[in-house]
């Protein structure tokens, strides 16, 4: 059932990020499509200011690094608000990919010639960058995968099938992404384990108190998101891990929506497993990673068989390499991993705490601005001095389908948002809706993006209401 939220006045919080109004908007509206030549990539983005004014926000400072943002879509300035689905890529990442394929394209770990040695060095350097980025104790705790989905399946089909027994319990929340639910459904079917789900509390946040109450000695694994891709809620992960470990359970953290937006320290969290995807971190598609504690990875059997993951192969049996090679069968996504390393360099150069602080500001501005739209319901917690939201809002407007909203916003205003169930059908059913619209931000977004979105959304609502 749709709910109507009373409009609230938009009031900017007292914050250290200055807001640039009309002058900046006049500039950004003049962007036109442009192409990037190989020479441009080697020399750097020509539009990047050498000494940007100190008054610019982080969004204004970083936008020149993202070529894709400087174009018109359907006659309007592109306003990209679908970052929870995938982030855009800075020139440094594009350049790193091009440099790999132009300069030292070769397979890794298998050749003694210069190109192979260089590719291996850069590939393993990328692993170290991931390790340092999340503060793993050793780079061998990082396994490169195709994406976070494969990383979860890796844990499910190795650790899961080896350790989950009949009547054991796997604890999840109703707000999990499909990729964190379906693999464990398959494990439960194979092992006779029981899946249990934590529901939402009155603030539309997974009920952590209820999660703690559901833990028991039967609980073998807790699978939980750090930040919800629909609700924007941030869970107290360290507290959850402590409680899970108290009953002997392991914890797998879906950090796809947290690692790109805040400081994530796996040693501080003490999580057993953690997964994330490059493409949400300003890196290439086709690569993600699994973090696992060394003792757990060492005890896990292989996920896939083939080259690279072996020690010795005989006709009747094989022995296996130590992690992480044991879990990286075949030729990996070499260029993509190197691109992920370049993305981590870029994010680290900005500073993850700086990114997080700016996005907290954007999150509240987005929520307050959306709240002024008539007949809207925004899902998830209301931001306050004690409750922080991620910089995304999923919402519905009475009697207008979210896909209609997204289509009109794109075609008439060049605003890119997401509509659908966001790979979270159980959560939408729990909320009593089949789909929602979602606007999601990253650090290269600005207040002007949000203002343009709200104006476009009000125009869209007026258009559909005109038919009633």
**Rounded Cα distance, 419 and 170, in Å:** 30
**In terms of Cα–Cα distance, which of 219, 217, 220, 198 is closest to 209?**
198
**Rounded Cα distance, 107 and 115, in Å:** 8
β-pair partners for 400: 397
What is the DSSP secondary structure assignment for residue 301, as one 8-state letter?
Answer: P
Residues 375, 199, 436, 393, Cα dihedral to 10°: 70
Q: Which residue has the tokens 């700086």?
A: 354
Name the phi and psi angles at 76, rounded to 5. -125, 160
Q: Which residue has the tokens 């080896």?
A: 162
Q: Within 13 A of 448's CA, how many CA atoms are on the CB side?
A: 22
Residues 227 and 276: beta-carbon distance below 8 Å: no
Bridge-based pairing state of the strands 250-254 and 219-225:
parallel
DSSP assignment string, 377-429 = EE-SPPP-SS----SEEEEEETTB-HHHHHHHHHHHH-EE-EEE-TT-HHHHH
DSSP assignment string, 358-375 = HHHHHHHHHHHHHHTSTT
Residues 279 and 87: beta-carbon distance below 8 Å: yes
Structural element, H or E, at residue 120:
helix 114-134
**Rounded Cα distance, 154 and 137, in Å:** 21
**In terms of Cα–Cα distance, which of 58, 30, 34, 28 is closest to 46?**
34
Residues 160 and 195: beta-carbon distance below 8 Å: no
Catalytic hit among 26, 243, 282, 423: 423
CB within 8 A of 225, min separation 6: which ones?
A: 173, 175, 176, 177, 180, 235, 253, 254, 255, 256, 257
- 407 phi-psi bin (left φ>0, alpha ψ -120 to 50, beta other): alpha
Known catalytic membership, residue 423 = yes
Exposure letters 5-26 (e unless 16+ CB within 10 A, then b): beeeebeeeeeebeebeeebbe
Q: Which residues are catalytic?
A: 423
């Amino acid at each position: 059932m749709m709910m109507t939220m009373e409009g609230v006045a938009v009031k900017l919080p007292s914050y250290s990020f200055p807001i640039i109004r009309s002058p900046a908007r006049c500039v950004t509206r003049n962007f036109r499509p442009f192409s990037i030549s190989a020479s441009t990539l080697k020399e750097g983005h020509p539009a990047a200011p050498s000494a940007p004014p100190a008054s610019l926000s982080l969004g204004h400072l970083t936008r020149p690094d993202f070529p894709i943002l400087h174009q018109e879509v359907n006659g309007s300035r592109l306003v990209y608000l679908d970052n929870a689905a995938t982030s855009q890529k800075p020139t440094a990442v594009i350049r790193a990919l091009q440099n790999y394929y132009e300069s030292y394209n070769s397979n890794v770990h298998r050749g003694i010639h210069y190109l192979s040695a260089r590719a291996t060095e850069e590939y393993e350097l990328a692993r170290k960058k991931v390790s340092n980025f999340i503060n793993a104790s050793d780079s061998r705790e990082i396994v490169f995968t195709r994406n976070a989905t494969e990383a979860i399946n890796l844990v499910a089909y190795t650790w899961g099938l080896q350790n989950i027994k009949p009547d054991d319990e796997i604890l999840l929340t109703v707000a999990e992404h499909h990729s964190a639910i379906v693999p464990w459904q398959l494990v439960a079917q194979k092992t006779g384990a029981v899946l249990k789900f934590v529901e939402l509390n009155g603030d539309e946040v997974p009920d952590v108190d209820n999660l703690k109450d559901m833990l028991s000695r039967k609980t073998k694994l807790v699978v939980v998101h750090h930040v919800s891709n629909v609700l924007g809620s941030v869970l107290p992960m360290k507290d959850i891990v402590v409680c899970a470990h108290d009953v002997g359970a392991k914890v797998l953290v879906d950090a796809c929506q947290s690692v790109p937006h805040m400081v994530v320290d796996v040693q501080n969290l003490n999580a057993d497993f953690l997964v994330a995807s490059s493409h949400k971190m300003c890196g290439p598609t086709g690569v993600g990673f699994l973090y696992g504690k060394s003792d757990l990875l060492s005890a896990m059997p292989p996920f896939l068989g083939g080259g690279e993951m072996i020690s010795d192969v005989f006709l009747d049996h094989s022995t296996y390499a130590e992690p992480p090679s044991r879990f990286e069968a075949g030729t990996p996504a070499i260029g993509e991993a190197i691109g992920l390393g370049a993305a981590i360099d870029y994010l680290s150069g900005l500073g993850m705490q700086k990114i997080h602080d700016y996005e907290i500001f954007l999150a509240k501005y987005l929520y307050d601005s959306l709240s002024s739209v008539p007949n809207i319901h925004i899902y998830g917690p209301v931001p306050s001095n004690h409750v922080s939201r991620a910089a995304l809002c999923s919402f519905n407007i009475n009697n207008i389908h979210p896909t209609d909203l997204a289509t009109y916003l794109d075609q008439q205003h060049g605003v890119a948002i997401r509509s659908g169930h966001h790979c979270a059908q159980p959560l939408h059913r729990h909320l009593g809706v089949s789909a929602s619209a979602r606007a999601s931000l990253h650090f290269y977004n600005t207040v002007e993006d949000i203002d343009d979105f709200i104006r476009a959304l009000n125009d869209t609502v007026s258009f559909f209401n005109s038919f009633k």
